[in-house]
Amino acid sequence: MKIIEMPPFAPVLMESTRAIGYNLEAAVADIVDNSIAASADKISISFSPYDAVPYVSILDNGIGMSEIEIDNAMRYGSQSSLKVRAETDLGRFGLGLKTASLSQCRCLTVISKQQDCLEGRRWDLDEVYRNGSWSLIKLETADINKIAQYTTQLKDLDHGTLVIWEKLDRMLEGTTSTDKTMNKQMDYVRNHLSLVFHRYLSGETGIKKVAISINKQPLIPKDPFLIGKSTNFQADEKFIIENHPVHVSCYMLPHISKLTRQEKDELGGSEGLTKNQGFYIYRNKRLLVWGTWFRFHRKDELSKLARIRVDIPNALDHLWTLDIRKSSAIPPDVIKKNLERIVERISEGSKRAWTFRGKREISDKGNHLWNKTHIRDGVVYNLNRDHIFLNTLCESLDSAQKSLLENYLKLVEGNLPLNQLYVDLNNEEQVNVKKEKDAEAEALEFAKIILNNIKDNPLRSQQIQIMIQTDPFCNYKRIVEFLTEELNKNG
């Protein structure tokens, strides 16, 4: 038996790894991972479409790299994915810096300072093609001092690392307006990082707070659980897998009617709350995968408020089949049963929160504005002809006027814009928006009108009791108290 060495041909392999599937947001996030792992608490992302050579740069104030460390960082496959790593390490395959960067550009420059050590390395794919070999360029101090981004960003720091992307062929390919394209793409990056690193940006207990900015504009954390306003659906749970803890927390978002437009945008974005329901998998507090039920449950409108946070340590990467881009993970069999049980419980809770208002309207208790009737082909909604306000109105009308009113009510019932209502609700629109205090004031005015019309009615007490259980009066504590006082006065 004979062993033949078969080293990969550098130009082909490096070009092939550009197609792993990174988008710009994931690529930048991968570089930020390295900065956080290097103990940085300040990360500055910059980009410029206006320079002679458009660029994107990521600067951190981490511990920096020595000569040996920067060489290893620029080497393909610099560490085994099976190697035991520090708990705070956000990497895995030893490929992120290279594959993420070169998926977006053809020239990657890394400059790092550590104490008195200043090192610079560069992968230039055009140079690799010319030489047909792994031609890593080592930058001398004089070369580094000629780099504008170094002199304006890293030079004055005591330690840190600067990553520069140039020859942005993937980002700018086919564009006719470099500035518009870069600005739009970096907006996606801003939104992505604000979500993926929201726990670092907010300085959650137990982790170091990290400030991230893009062209000097700080990122604001986007909390997908709206903690503080959402309901913690059940007690947090902890599972032990291979002697490592997995923490699970379940959240129920507030009903859509209680969310502001900004909150809805932050929770669901342009694709809506429905798409982003389900699991949110975090590895060392960094969001990896979100908006999936892992086939435990089907996405639907009734479970759109349910979100489950799962925290895993990097020691269990091999079980979750984490990919190079850190954008795909699959729960291991040892935890699937526990997750299935949680999914069933929280999805039922979401349905109750979503349908609560509808149940109140069709409940057998009380006197409601609308009645729901099941027919062979579906359901029909009709205005309640026994509503006290409608009865009070009819008492002041003659037979011709009552007939005219009845025809109008039938016209209203038969022409409800149900299809448009469905579209608006699916687009997260708030339908019939009215401030709570305005709606309450309006209901109170209606109550006073009815009381005035029945002041001499011998059945006034019974009618007030009906009002207390009638929409919209029963929805407001102050109006119920007012009506109760009137009932007591009536004796």
Long-range contacts of 120-125 (CB under 8 A, 24+ apart): 120/144, 120/147, 120/150, 121/70, 121/71, 121/73, 121/74, 123/14, 123/74, 123/98, 124/167, 125/11, 125/14, 125/15, 125/167
pLDDT above 60 (res 469): yes
Q: Where are the domains of the chain?
A: 10-218, 231-359, 370-490
Where would I find the H helices in 138-281? 141-145, 148-149, 169-172, 178-196, 198-201, 261-268, 272-275
The pLDDT value given to residue 421: 72
**pLDDT confidence bin for 218, thresholds 50/70/90:** very high
CB atoms within 10 A of CB 38: 21
The pLDDT value given to residue 269: 59
- HSE-CB at 296 with a 13 A cutoff on CA atoms is 25
Which one-letter DSSP state was computed for residue 256?
Answer: G
**pLDDT confidence bin for 185, thresholds 50/70/90:** very high
Question: Exposure of 491 by Cβ count < 10 A (0-12 exposed, 13-18 middle, 19+ buried)?
Answer: exposed
Higher pLDDT, 189 or 270: 189
Phi, psi angles (nearest 5°) of residue 72 = -65, -40
Where is average pLDDT lowest: 103-107, 109-113, 343-347, 437-441? 343-347
pLDDT single digits (tens) 101-152: 999 999 999 999 998 899 999 999 999 999 999 999 999 999 999 999 999 9
| pTM of the shown model | 0.72
Q: Six-digit token pair at 464?
A: 């007030």
The pLDDT value given to residue 80: 42
What are the Cα distances from residue 121, in Å, to 35, 155, 255, 460?
17, 16, 52, 89
pLDDT above 70 (res 277): yes
Q: Is the peptide bond before 245 cis (omega within 30 degrees of 0)?
A: no
- Please give the CATH number for the structural domain made up of 10-218: 3.30.565.10
Percent of the chain exceeding pLDDT 90 equals: 36
End-to-end CA distance of the chain, in Å?
107
Mean pLDDT across the stretch 229-251? 85
pLDDT above 70 (res 430): no
Higher pLDDT, 424 or 110: 110
pLDDT above 90 (res 194): yes
The pLDDT value given to residue 231: 80
Which one-letter DSSP state was computed for residue 373?
Answer: E
**pLDDT confidence bin for 358, thresholds 50/70/90:** very low
Cα 383 to chain centroid distance, Å, stands at: 39
- HSE-CB at 427 with a 13 A cutoff on CA atoms is 8
Higher pLDDT, 226 or 459: 226
Mean pLDDT across the stretch 262-279? 78
Q: Which amino acid is at 439?
A: A
Mean pLDDT across the stretch 359-388? 68
Strand ranges (DSSP E) for 70-204?
A: 107-114, 117-124, 137-139, 160-166
Mean pLDDT across the stretch 243-248? 90
**pLDDT confidence bin for 437, thresholds 50/70/90:** low
The pLDDT value given to residue 429: 62
Where would I find the H helices in 269-365? 272-275, 333-362
Mean pLDDT across the stretch 343-369? 56
Cβ(134)–Cβ(124) below 8 Å: no
Higher pLDDT, 437 or 9: 9
Residue the block writes with tokens 């008492």? 395
Mean pLDDT across the stretch 73-96? 57
pLDDT above 50 (res 8): yes
- Please give the CATH number for the structural domain made up of 231-359: 3.30.230
CB atoms within 10 A of CB 30: 24
The pLDDT value given to residue 190: 97
Q: What angle do CA 44, 46, 49 make, to 5 degrees?
A: 175
Question: Exposure of 174 by Cβ count < 10 A (0-12 exposed, 13-18 middle, 19+ buried)?
Answer: exposed
How far apart, in whole angstroms, are the C-alpha atoms of residue 324 and residue 266? 27
How far apart, in whole angstroms, are the C-alpha atoms of residue 367 and residue 369? 7
Mean pLDDT across the stretch 311-340? 77
**pLDDT confidence bin for 448, thresholds 50/70/90:** confident
Cβ(226)–Cβ(253) below 8 Å: yes
The pLDDT value given to residue 112: 97
**pLDDT confidence bin for 89, thresholds 50/70/90:** very low
Maximum mean pLDDT: which of 74-78, 169-173, 252-256: 169-173
Percent of the chain exceeding pLDDT 70 equals: 85
CB atoms within 10 A of CB 452: 9
- HSE-CB at 3 with a 13 A cutoff on CA atoms is 2
Where is average pLDDT lowest: 212-221, 261-270, 294-303? 261-270
Which helix (H) or strand (E) element contains residue 225?
A: none
- Residues pairing with 120 in the sheet: 111, 139
